[in-house]
Structure 1
Amino acid sequence: MHLSGKHAFITGGGTGIGLAIAQSLAAQGASVTITGRRIDVLKDAAASFGGLPLALDVTDPDATASVVEAAIAQNGPVQVCVPNAGIAEGKSISKMDLAFWRRTMATNLDGAMLTIQACLPSMLTTDWGRVIAVSSIAGVRGLRGAPAYSASKHGLIGLIRGLSEDYMGGPYTFNALCPGYVDTPIVTRNTDDIAARAGMSKEEALGTMVRSNRHKRLIEASEIGEAAAWLCGAGSGSVNGQTIEIAGGQV
């Protein structure tokens, strides 16, 4: 229970990776706030571990600031900030319009920056803190057919590395988790999308994602949750500005 008394703030915490991280941190004693766009989903998720659900669209700067303020008022300074909210949609550059590009960046990169920006002042009033961004293997190597998504996740890693340099030597670390394909609702939606675009069966579409993970299986969301908990654990203070690649093998 090494996180007892500490407040974790997680965006996109109602399902998938965000929920798994919330459950892992709550199991270590943290008071956890989860946010997302669907309050009904958040309430059901929060009930599973005793968390605080708050509706939030991370692309809205004013809403992000006010929701973080409300979370701090109830749970205290944010000492674990997890910008996880994101969208994963593939579209080739020839079929991409500027609205699609900007929507991807607004959620995956701007939303993460706004979340960190709102949480960090309270963290800096404490003697310990962790910022754990959820990027992707696509942020390390790029993803075929998804240049906007890849760019947003590369940008998120750049943000984390820059912040790690800004606060180097202090009791705060900044790292990025970079999963491969995880068994979440996003993969289910992507399976349908790939099947439709490529003219293949859903089983064949799922197989392309499974084969992209080096160990040839989907990653469990709980594996990402445990990695986040490890970054909050004893002995993690020298892990800073890093990409933690969770993809079943070397990238």
Structure 2
Amino acid sequence: MIAAARIAGSHALVTGGGSGVGRAIALALAEAGVAVTISGRREAELAKVAGENARIHGIAADVTDEVAMAALYKEAEAARGPFDIVVANAGMAGSTPAHKTALADWQRTLDVNLTGAFLTVKPALAGMAARKAGRIVFVASTAGLKGYAYVAPYVAAKHGVVGLMRALAAETAKSGVTVNAVCPGFVETDMLEESVQRIVDKTGRSVAEARANLASSNPQGRFIQPQEVAAAVIWLCGNAAASITGQAISISGGETW
């Protein structure tokens, strides 16, 4: 890929890099010749992904902890130089009717998905602007483009991520930095399996019925694959996407646009 070839030699941060979409993005970047720092709370998962490609290095950190994220930047940049690419991917979701949602659950969802995204990219902004180059990609969701029932905190957080992306894109438009979001529909990951199990537990449907129900939201009638999200991120990080900024790119088989 042309875009992939042009990012070789860069240094990237991918949060939530120990599994799912984050793992796929980290591996795709590493295969394109990028030095990749992945972060997450579970060291064992980070080590497993790092073992898949020598260009990947894991540092445990919680995206909701500003001090921990500052320490991550200090350690990673001392070892491999400043980040040229930052992918804010870490996230979590639950499922409860809005009127039964506890304030603590609401706050935790916003802390991880929205505040965590902000704390992931904030330390990179000044340096990227000074160097007049950089790529920031938020992994949002179709939940940042439309509403879904029973996941109000997640929908609110992901709408916030899209808004944050647009604000940062406006701030950095003349600096050579681009800021975008990818918005996948249901992706074939462990998080999807958790959603399926919640449907099974709450409705008594079979696993097959629950999966079919979720897949039906995609007009193509299937789940998005993590590698498809990774391919979009790779493109946004390349020179071919230098004029693409402030965009929320739906990866959903036509569910949203």
User: Which among 213, 216, 219 is matched to residue 214 of structure 1?
Assistant: 219
Pick aligned residue for 2:35 from 27, 31, 36: 31
Residue 95 of structure 1: how far off its partner (Å): 1.1
Q: Which range moves more in the overlay, 180-189 or 115-124?
A: 115-124
Seen in structure 2, the aligned counterparts of structure 1 residues 125 and 29 have a Cα distance that, compared at 3 Å, is: farther
Q: Does 1:228 align with 2:233?
A: yes
Q: TM-score, normalised by structure 1?
A: 0.97
Pairs within 5 Å for 1:19-168: 19-50=23-54, 51-168=56-173
- TM-score with structure 2 length normalisation? 0.95
Measure, in 2, the Cα distance between the counterparts of 1:110 and 1:18: 18
Q: Distance in 2 between matches of 1:216 and 1:132?
A: 27
Residue identity matched to 1:14? G
Unaligned residue ranges in structure 1 (runs of 5+): none
Task: Give CA-to-partner distance per residue, 1:30-85, whole Å, 9 cap, x none.
Answer: 11000011101100101112211000111111111111111111111111000100
**C-alpha separation in 1, matches of 2:88 and 2:130:** 20
TM-superposed CA distance for 1:209, in Å, is: 1.0
The residue type equivalent to 2:193 in the other structure is T
> Does residue 1:242 correspond to 2:247, yes or no?
yes
Q: Which residue of 2 aligns with 1:194?
A: 199
For each residue in 1:88-145, what CA deviation from the matched residue of structure 2 results, as whole angstroms up to 9, or x when unmatched?
2111111101000000000000000001112223323423211000000010012121
Q: Which runs of 5+ in 2 are unaligned?
A: none
Say which is worse superposed, 121-130 or 88-97, in terms of deviation: 121-130
Q: Percent identity?
A: 39
Greater mean deviation of Cα atoms: 164-173 or 128-137: 164-173
Measured in 2, the distance between the counterparts of 1:123 and 1:27 equals 23
Q: Matched residues in 2 for 1:102 and 1:216: separation?
A: 33
